[in-house]
Amino acid sequence: MSKIRVVQYINQFFAQIGGEEKADIPAELREGPVGPGLAFNAAWGDEAEVVATIICGDSYFNENLEKAQAEVLEMVKSQNPDMFIAGPAFNAGRYGVACGTIAKAVQDNLNIPVLTGMYVENPGADMFKKDVYIVATKNSAAGMRDAVKKMAPFALKLARHEAIGASCEEGYMPNGVRVNLFEKERGSARAVKMLIAKLNGKPFTTEFPMPSFDRVAPNPAVKDMAHATVALCTSGGIVPLGNPDHIESSSASHYGEYDIEGVMDLDAAHWATAHGGYDPVYANEDADRVLPVDVLREMEKEGRIGKLHNKFYTTVGNGTAVASSKAFAAEYAQKLKADGVDCVIMTST
């Protein structure tokens, strides 16, 4: 019996080519396994093998979406595989989006089973968990062994077109598909067991998980705005012209801190947006439309606020992981606090 042929997609980091400085490399095809493919081959033994690996930079894929998809699809097709695996991407946002995008494209265009893996808060998970099977992984590459342990047997089931069980059995993220089945115990008995477990502080698993929303209680209103220092922050990607800190247009990995001491207006000669999730024309014509420095300067002049803080903080919200966004804010909030800022206006797009 011949081995199951697998093609794997990985980014520049897992191919050991480089980090962010190599994120713009175009797609290339290499024979055999590279990086994580070696672990998959070891897990499969004689049952399957990675016959080819496609490597592509995260920035290249996300910034040249149609072209990159077409290139990768052609590479996959040339290998005539039985199975396609993307990643795992863990909590790398742009990598996760790329894995989800190309996995769906392969499934839709080549009609072969696909599988990817990523952390639950990766933006690619929310975007593609209803379209392709995504195995839940840990949030960093330190979880590679655990990811391969989950993904390898599941990939074999998919490649063999075997019946796929519930997400809690197979380890993939819930995709909204419900299947009728007969339980050994009736619902009332199961409910009572869960209630008893909950009352006794023991673990239990609900059969109807509800969405979890992060609620942030608002701080008390600023009592004296006429003497308050106000700061501007944005997820709209406003940056100095040329984007000197190379904030990514999608799935940002960092934020920028920029000085606006004496700046009265964000004119098109000096400011623009790095955001890739909305039409940038109007923001590039006048960046004050996203980050209203001009309005705050007027309010400062009129005495309606004490002063506008001399720095603003910016990143791109497009596809950026929630965990990353929280980490950015937690870091620059301490800077704002240390600078004596009384309140912050956070703008979006």
Q: Is 165 in the same domain as 258?
A: no
Q: Residue 142 above 80 pLDDT?
A: yes
Does any domain span residue 244? yes
Q: Residue 321 above 80 pLDDT?
A: no
pLDDT value for 181: 73
Q: Is 66 in the same domain as 149?
A: yes
Higher confidence at residue 168 or residue 62? Answer: 62
Q: Residue 122 above 80 pLDDT?
A: yes
Q: Is 160 in the same domain as 50?
A: yes
Q: Is 13 in the same domain as 90?
A: yes
Q: Is 136 in the same domain as 285?
A: no
Does any domain span residue 189? no
Per-residue pLDDT tens over the stretch 42-54: 999 999 999 999 9
Does any domain span residue 146? yes
The rounded mean pLDDT for the chain is: 92
Q: Residue 1 above 70 pLDDT?
A: no
Q: Is 295 in the same domain as 232?
A: yes
Higher confidence at residue 21 or residue 179? Answer: 21
Q: Residue 320 above 90 pLDDT?
A: no
Per-residue pLDDT tens over the stretch 270-311: 999 999 888 899 999 999 999 999 999 999 999 999 999 999
Per-residue pLDDT tens over the stretch 168-184: 788 888 887 777 777 88
What's the 3-state SS for the chain? Answer: CCCEEEEEEEECCCCCCCCHHHCCCCCEEEECCCCHHHHHHHHHCCCEEEEEEEEECHHHHHHCHHHHHHHHHHHHHHHCCCEEEECCCCCCHHHHHHHHHHHHHHHHHHCCCEEEEECCCCHHHHHHCCCCCEEECCCCHHHHHHHHHHHHHHHHHHHCCCCCCCHHHHCECCCCCCCCCCCCCCHHHHHHHHHHHHHCCCCCCCCCCCCCCCCCCCCCCCCCHHHCEEEEEECECEEECCCCCCCCCCCCCCCEEEECCCCCCCECCCEEECCCCCCCHHHHHEHHHCCCHHHHHHHHHHCCCCEEEEEEEECECCCCCHHHHHHHHHHHHHHHHHCCCCEEEEECC
Average pLDDT over residues 260-268: 95
Higher confidence at residue 206 or residue 16? Answer: 16
Q: Is 26 in the same domain as 161?
A: yes
Does any domain span residue 284? yes
Per-residue pLDDT tens over the stretch 194-240: 999 999 999 988 887 776 667 888 889 999 999 999 999 999 999 99
Does any domain span residue 155? yes
Q: Is 105 in the same domain as 250?
A: no
pLDDT value for 211: 67
pLDDT value for 276: 85
CATH assignment of the domain containing 102: 3.40.50.2300
Does any domain span residue 177? no
Average pLDDT over residues 117-144: 91
Last residue of a domain, one of 136, 153, 170: 170
pLDDT value for 77: 96
Higher confidence at residue 239 or residue 165? Answer: 239
Which stretch of 121-125, 134-138, 214-218 has the lowest confidence by average pLDDT?
A: 214-218
Does any domain span residue 204? no
Q: Is 140 in the same domain as 30?
A: yes
Does any domain span residue 58? yes
* Domain tally, the chain: 2
Q: Is 153 in the same domain as 278?
A: no
Which stretch of 8-12, 67-71, 205-209 has the lowest confidence by average pLDDT?
A: 205-209
Q: What percent of the chain has pLDDT over 70?
A: 99
Q: Which domain holds residue 339?
A: 225-347
Last residue of a domain, one of 170, 188, 204: 170
Q: Is 43 in the same domain as 160?
A: yes
Q: Residue 160 above 90 pLDDT?
A: yes
